[in-house]
Amino acid sequence: MVTPLPLYHIFPLATALLALSLGCENRLVPNPREAGSVLAELKRRPFQMLVGVNTLFNSLVNTPELISVDFGATRLVIGAGASIQDAIAKRWLAAGAPPVTEAYGLTETSPSATFNPPGRSGSIGIPVPSTDVRLVDESGHDVPLGVAGELLIKGPQLFSGYWNQEDETRKAFLDGDWFRTGDIVVMDELGFMTMVDRKKDMILVSGFNVYPNEIEAVVAMMPDVLEAACIGVPDDRSGEAPHLFIVPCNMALTTEQVEAHCRSHLAAYKVPRHITFVDALPKSTVGKILRRDLRSRLVGEQSNA
């Protein structure tokens, strides 16, 4: 198993321990942000399993050497930590790699909560054994199939509470034992769930809910875009407006081109009102894009203006 993620994060730690308990050798990549280091380990000799996050797969598909990796023995590639964007999943397959199997969990669920059949992405899957889920609205009432709601989880892997934070623990549970994940998802008739976005990241535009994930996924389809992140910012006309940050891989890309692309794939109120090109996006040590840091950066820039 190749683990290009730090072991102090619950996803790679739990996966690595599970693999070791089954007799698997774990090959740790100390610096997953360096695509060359990851590729060197993948090419060193065949492997049966790989774990990663969306930004890692994105960096690999943008490296021409990926096609030289021998995936002949690889049986499972797990993507978690954030939704695997469809554009990246398709480019990963086109490079000759096995399909990414998407999973979902949190530190509070140790981490596994839902999983897909091997090779399936585009959803966060179905609950793992002995785990129950509910989708609820703002009032805590269950929503019907096909309607977005906050994901609640109950199962043996669930934590008992936040250390020395009784108030936060109380807020995190509904009806005493249902953990509120803060994630908005939709469930289909087969029980498969699709991630919409984090509840706290939702942008309210003139009374309409706009989720950054949708905008980011559309922008990721553009070949001249390396990475993108979207946040909500105050707006005098609509209350809030989407502000899109882009790391281009073609410096000739213009805001007009991005806006035109968005208008052809999104409803008008979802089109970013502001577009900013940046050299890099803030990320956690695991590789998750930190939208909160983008908000803080904007606040700091406005304070210094």
How distant, in Å, are the alpha carbons of 11, 160, 164, 229, 270 from that of 56?
Answer: 14, 32, 34, 15, 27
DSSP single-letter state for residue 277: E
Other beta carbons within 10 Å of 128: 16
Does 106 fall in a domain?
A: no
Structural domains in the chain (count): 3
How distant, in Å, are the alpha carbons of 37, 42, 135, 143, 271 from that of 188?
Answer: 39, 36, 12, 12, 27
CA dihedral 186, 51, 14, 45 (to 10 degrees): 160
Give pLDDT, residue 195: 93
Q: Do 134 and 41 sit in the same domain of this protein? A: no
Give me the CATH number covering residue 185: 2.30.38.10
Report d(CA 84, CA 33) in Å as an integer: 17
Signed CA dihedral, 257, 261, 262, 267: sign only: positive
Token duo for residue 133: 């889920």
Q: Do 229 and 195 sit in the same domain of this protein? A: no
Q: Do 72 and 45 sit in the same domain of this protein? A: yes
Report d(CA 289, CA 220) in Å as an integer: 14
CA angle 207, 266, 93 (to 5 degrees): 130
Does 216 fall in a domain?
A: yes
Percent of the chain whose predicted confidence (pLDDT) is above 90 = 88
Residue 14 clears pLDDT 80, i.e. is over it: yes
Residue 156 clears pLDDT 90, i.e. is over it: yes
Token duo for residue 116: 């897909």
State pTM to two decimals: 0.86
**162, 172 contact by CB (below 8 A):** yes
The string of pLDDT tens digits covering residues 231-290 is: 999 999 999 999 999 999 999 999 999 999 999 999 999 999 999 999 999 998 888 899
Does 277 fall in a domain?
A: yes
27-41 mean pLDDT: 89
CA nearest to 6, candidates 20, 21, 26: 26
Backbone angles phi, psi at 210, to 5 degrees: -125, 130
**143, 136 contact by CB (below 8 A):** yes
Residue 305 clears pLDDT 80, i.e. is over it: no
Percent of the chain whose predicted confidence (pLDDT) is above 70 = 99
Q: Do 170 and 219 sit in the same domain of this protein? A: no
Q: Do 193 and 135 sit in the same domain of this protein? A: yes
Residue 121 clears pLDDT 90, i.e. is over it: no
Alpha carbon 233 to chain centroid, angstroms? 21
125-138 mean pLDDT: 96
Residue 304 clears pLDDT 70, i.e. is over it: no
216-221 mean pLDDT: 96
Residue 82 clears pLDDT 90, i.e. is over it: no
Q: Which of 81-90, 188-197, 230-239, 292-301 has the lowest mean pLDDT?
A: 292-301
CA nearest to 125, candidates 113, 134, 137: 113
99-104 mean pLDDT: 95
Give the residue, 82 or 165, on which the prediction is more confident.
165
Give pLDDT, residue 298: 85
The string of pLDDT tens digits covering residues 37-59 is: 999 999 999 999 999 999 999 99
Residue that is last in its domain, among 81, 98, 115: 98
Token duo for residue 174: 């509904």
Does 36 fall in a domain?
A: yes
Q: Do 239 and 296 sit in the same domain of this protein? A: yes
Residue 78 clears pLDDT 90, i.e. is over it: yes
**127, 151 contact by CB (below 8 A):** no
Give pLDDT, residue 286: 82
The string of pLDDT tens digits covering residues 158-211 is: 999 999 999 999 999 998 899 999 999 999 999 999 999 999 999 999 999 999
Polymer length of the chain: 305
What helix, strand, coil percent values describe the chain, rounded to 5?
30, 30, 40
Residue 130 clears pLDDT 80, i.e. is over it: yes
Residue 217 clears pLDDT 80, i.e. is over it: yes
| Structural domain of 165 | 126-199
Give me the CATH number covering residue 52: 3.40.50.12820
Helices assigned H by DSSP within 50-147: 54-61, 86-94
Give pLDDT, residue 303: 62
**81, 211 contact by CB (below 8 A):** no
